[in-house]
Each structure stands twice: as structure tokens, then as C-alpha cells.
Amino acid sequence: MQSRLQNEYLQQIYEHIQDGIIIMKESREIIMMNPAAQRLTGWQIGDFVPYCSYCMTRKKEHSESTCYLIANNEVPSFLSEMPTYHGRKIDVEMSTAAIYANENTGETEYLLVLRDQETFKKAQEAAINKKMIRALIEAKESEHKRLAQELHDGVGQSLFSVSVALQAIESFVQDNAQLNEYISEVRAELQRVMNDINAYSHQLRPHSLDQLGLEPTIQATIDAIKIPDLAIQLTTRGLDRCDPAVEINLYRITQEALHNIIKYAKATQVHIHIKKDNTHIYMTIQDNGIGFEREKIQNAGLGLKHMEERVDQLGGTCTIMSKLGQGTCIDIVIPRWRPQHD
């Protein structure tokens, strides 16, 4: 009974394992192969296994087998390109072992295992791309912070000095009504420029985010939105300071969500809820707007994609649920700190 179960288990492994398993004669004729090997190579039982690109070009002794693995039994595995039935070469990790000596034919039969390296390489490329995107986002935020500081401390302070100088000049020309009026106009225009610079600086990188944290910064953004018939409520629980990258990305996500709601949703109520425990931060942004079908939107869809990318860079999950006429809900769960491998 136990022997039968073991055989059944081994058969299931043979049928479902992702590595290609081939039994071949010393002449390289295939006498058995599993489904993974057939999918990977396109070969059939009775075909002959071709030599890999390395074996076809390597230098060998006159009596030595062309196959490097057979000629060097001590090599557990080997990376090379293998020609397939489909007419292309695939990157594989190969290993082989002599498993049976056929006394009738005098020929040794070999087990050949092929492991697809292309899937592994694609996973590596995806991981590298993810790191590059993360680096670009962080570089952009760093540049925003620098520019915001320059606008606030550099240009903003210079304009303030000019405003003070104009005020001093104005005190010396009190008797010239026409000149006084002109200086007042210049001061008013200067004040508008200073207000614009402060607004640009805030959009690039709110100073309150670094100084006070996420909650006061989001609340200030909400307070600055003066739209009739739109009520935005922020509630938090257990929210204190956390990783700066987490804070800036959650703030950017909130910015993008509010932008989409104001521009597209036609909502009258928005509720932003942020909760933090010992390990994770949970954010929900919900509105009572008109909702949408994601596959049918374009501009807002790009913004949603950017939200998902930011959450992905933080090792979290982002779920966007929306139905026509029933509003939209964005649920985000991220680790309190960035993954250690960063």
C-alpha cells in the first residue's frame, strides 16, 4: 500500500513539476519525458536531444563525449543555451546523471533535467525595474524638496526684502499721491507673486510634511480646497511620525485622489481615514461621486496607475473599487517602514 502511494506521489511530481525531466539513451534518443520538458523544448519521445551551444563549441579530447555533463560526472549543473524544436535557443540550467545501464544493449541511460532560466531572468529584470522606479520617485521627491526650499528661502526672501524696501520708499514720498498709488500697485503685484511662490513651494514639497507630519499636512491641503457643496473629512487613529518615504508617498496619493475627485467625480462628500498599528498603515479614501469604469477612462486612469506604483514601491497593496453611480473607494495597506532590502 505504501509503495503504491509513493509511486502515485512520484507520478504526480513527474507530471506537474516545472522542471523538464528527460530520460535519454547514450545516443541521446529520448525514451521518456514529462509535460514540462515537452512545453519547454517542443521535443517528442523518439527525438534526439541536440547538444547545447557550449558543447558544440568547446575543446575536448578525441575520445571524450561531446556532452560536457556526461564527460564530467562531477558537475552538478551547467548553464547554457539549448536549441529547441521551435527553432530558437533557450537559456537553461542543465544537470544529468547516469541512472540505468541496459544490459541488453550495453547502453547507459541518462536522466537530463532542464530548468528554464528565461523565467528567472524576467523575474530579475522586473525586480531591477521596480528598484529603478523607486529610485526615480525618490530622486524626484528629493529634487522637489530642494526646489521648494530654494523658492521659500531664496526667491521668497528676496521678494520680501524688495517689499520692505518699497514700504520704506513709500514713507519718503507721502506727499506725491501719484507715486504713492504706483508704489501701492507694485506692492500688490509683488504680494501676488509671493503668494504664487508660496503655493508653488507647497505643491512641490509642503514644509509641514517634514516638520509636523502627514496628518497636519493633509488637513492643510483639505482646508485650502474652497469648493462649495464639497465636504472633505479626515479622521486618523494612532497616526504619528513614520518613515519619510511613506509619508511623502501617502501625501502624493492623497493629492492625486483629491485632484481626481474634484475634476471627475462630482462628489459632495469625501472621507479620508488613516489608521496605524505597530506594523502597518491603513488608508481609505472614499467619495460619493458618480463612479467610473476603469477600462473606459484615460487621464484619471494614469493617475490611478501612479498611485498603485507608489504603493507597490512601498511593499503594500492598493485596491481601487468603483461602480457607476455608487462612488469610489481606494483602500491602501502598506508597511509602517520601507522593506529592509531597500
Q: How far apart are CA 253 and CA 118, in angstroms?
A: 35
- Are residues 104 and 217 part of one domain? no
Instruction: Name 117's Cβ contacts closer than 8 Å, sequence gap at least 6.
Output: 79, 90, 91, 92, 93
Residue 50 falls inside a structural domain: yes
Q: What percent of the chain has pLDDT over 70?
A: 82
- CB–CB of 43/20 below 8 Å? no
Which of 50, 82, 117 lies at the terminal end of a domain, its last residue?
Answer: 117
Mean pLDDT of 245-263: 90
The predicted pLDDT at position 341 comes to: 46
341 in the same domain as 219: yes
Q: What share of the chain in percent tops pLDDT 90?
A: 23
Domain boundary among 86, 117, 148: 117
Residue in the block written with cell 505504501: 2
Question: Over 70: is that where the pLDDT of 1 sits?
Answer: no
Residue 285 is assigned to a structural domain of this protein: yes
CATH code of the domain in which 247 resides: 3.30.565.10
CA distance 36 to 44: 12
pLDDT of 340 above 90:
no
Residues 105 and 217 in one domain: no
Q: Is the domain of 218 the same as that of 342?
A: yes
**Domain carrying residue 58:** 2-117
- Quick one: pLDDT at residue 73? 65
More confident residue, 270 or 201: 270
How many structural domains is the chain composed of?
2
Residue predicted with more confidence, 1 or 55: 55
- CA 238-240-245 angle, to 5 degrees, is 125
- The pLDDT of residue 155: 65
pLDDT for 319 equals: 94
Q: Is 332 exposed, middle or buried (0-12, 13-18, 19+ CB in 10 A)?
A: buried
Q: What are the beta bridge partners of residue 108?
A: 101
* Calpha distance 149→155 (Å, rounded): 9
Q: Is residue 298 part of a domain?
A: yes
Task: Return the minimum-mean-pLDDT range out of 4-18, 162-176, 287-301.
Answer: 162-176
**CATH number of residue 106's parent domain:** 3.30.450.20
Is the pLDDT assigned to residue 219 strictly greater than 90? yes
Task: Give a yes or no: residue 182 inside a domain.
Answer: no
The verdict on residue 284 lying in a domain is: yes
Domain identity same for 102 and 222: no
Mean pLDDT value across residues 271-280: 93
225, part of any domain: yes
What is the rounded end-to-end Cα distance, in angstroms, of the chain? 51
Position 31 in a domain: yes
Q: Is 261 exposed, middle or buried (0-12, 13-18, 19+ CB in 10 A)?
A: buried
Q: Is the pLDDT of residue 296 over 80?
A: no
Per-residue pLDDT of 127-182, as tens digits, reads 777 777 777 777 777 676 666 666 666 666 666 667 777 776 767 666 677 777 77
Q: Is the pLDDT of residue 85 over 90?
A: no
**Nine-digit cell string for 203:** 505643491
Q: Is the pLDDT of residue 51 over 70?
A: yes
The residue out of 87, 117, 147 marking a domain boundary is 117
* Within a domain: 147: no
pLDDT value of residue 233? 96
